[in-house]
Structure 1
Amino acid sequence: MSLNNTNLFVFVAIAALVTVHDKPLLKRACQHALNDGVSMQELCDILPHISVYSGVPKSLMALEILKSLDDIQGSNTLLIKRTEQQLKTALTFGQLPFGI
């Protein structure tokens, strides 16, 4: 993941919106991020890190929003399922698999 100032700003904004549980603004922010060149992979990759601060349930809510933004073919289905499994494992066992 190549991080530039724009992506950093986007990730901080998304983390804040996840934390305050603002679904409509989070959906718009994620859509704008995808339109501006942030990949679905990058958005999914930050969710486990956000969950440490905002909680796993809120990160799962954000993942549901990303799922709704996925294109009709579901090209990111495996990526989203992997992230969902990571978050559910963290919820169950209390640890995040950052090495995966």
Structure 2
Amino acid sequence: MTVAMLIALNRSPELKAHILGALNNGLSVEEIREIVIHAAVYCGFPAALEGMRVLREVYDDRHLRPRSEIPTNPPQSD
């Protein structure tokens, strides 16, 4: 809830801290990304895009990426 409200209020520094807290409290990368996607509907795309930018920054800082971006089958050499 706090992450969504900070997206709506466009509070990027606080959002970053709360995204880190959410990860530390067990939310997955995918769950946090879903919060940002839902925020686009209720808060508008500019706020959601800023939220996604902050989320990407946290991902990059912690070397994280969503499961959907992790290859499930490594390439096979023939």
Q: Are the counterparts in 2 of residues 51 and 59 from structure 1 also a CA contact under 8 Å?
A: yes
Give 1:40 shift: 0.8
Give 1:14 shift: 0.8
**Aligned match of 2:57 in 38, 54, 68?**
68
Q: Which amino acid aligns with 1:57?
A: P
Q: In structure 2, how many angstroms separate the alpha carbons of the residues matched to 1:64 and 1:41?
A: 15
Aligned to 2:2: 13
Give 1:63 shift: 0.8
What are the ranges of 5 or more consecutive residues in structure 1 without an aligned counterpart?
A: 1-11, 81-100
TM-score (norm 2): 0.74
CA 1:28–1:69: 2 relative to 1, 3 Å: same
Q: In structure 2, how many angstroms separate the alpha carbons of the residues matched to 1:25 and 1:42?
A: 18
Aligned to 2:39: 50
CA 1:17–1:78: 2 relative to 1, 3 Å: same
Provide runs of 4+ in structure 1 moved above 4 Å.
71-75, 77-80
Kindly indicate whether residue 22 of structure 2 is the aligned counterpart of residue 30 of structure 1: no
Q: Are the counterparts in 1 of residues 29 and 66 from structure 2 also a CA contact under 8 Å?
A: no
Q: In structure 2, how many angstroms separate the alpha carbons of the residues matched to 1:47 and 1:78?
A: 16
Q: Specify the structure having the higher radius of gyration (Cα).
A: 2
Q: Are the counterparts in 2 of residues 19 and 58 from structure 1 also a CA contact under 8 Å?
A: yes
What are the ranges of 5 or more consecutive residues in structure 2 without an aligned counterpart?
A: 70-78
Q: Are the counterparts in 2 of residues 44 and 79 from structure 1 also a CA contact under 8 Å?
A: no
Amino-acid identity (%): 29
